[in-house]
Structure 1
């Protein structure tokens, strides 16, 4: 899990993003499309077309990090606006990464067996 310091803002990029992109092109998207500074220490979350994959970029003051998570079952819950970005809290991000609807926290699915 990303060690999210308290007070860090988390931004969800609306719509879907090409998940073949790396951290440099996602940082460029943050700067050009979202109009935000990718080096400010905020977390920027991007969702794939099928909604089962997210990528997060974060600059911690030393370097850029890229975090990726794919759900085995279910989808990441995303707000409805199609452009821009929406701010959520760190605990809401933790719920989302666990496959829980961060707007109404309830576990959606848990694997029963490995493999």
Structure 2
């Protein structure tokens, strides 16, 4: 059965027409989630921040470090900051690799 046959009322040869604005509002309603459609004031527009792994942070830090080395102006102050950031990231990496004991959970 084709669409035109399905929408045609027998005996009258009338095709059911849907106004375009009704189609758009119906599509919008379908794409809304069930809870948001009931409470439009409670729509959550926040974005979730992606978690970055330590190895990815270190790779990015090396890229910035290389950029600072290529600069001809006084980037030495920034290089010292880069060293501090690298030490912080490596310290966090070491802390994550340490074995956890049950005593840490009861402090």
Instruction: Indicate the TM-score class for this superposition, using the shorter chain for normalisation.
Output: under 0.3
Q: Which has the higher helix share?
A: 2
Structure of greater Rg: 2
Q: Structure 2-normalised TM-score? A: 0.20
Task: Name the structure with the higher strand share.
Answer: 1
Structure with the bigger RCO (C-alpha within 8 Å, sep 6+) is 1
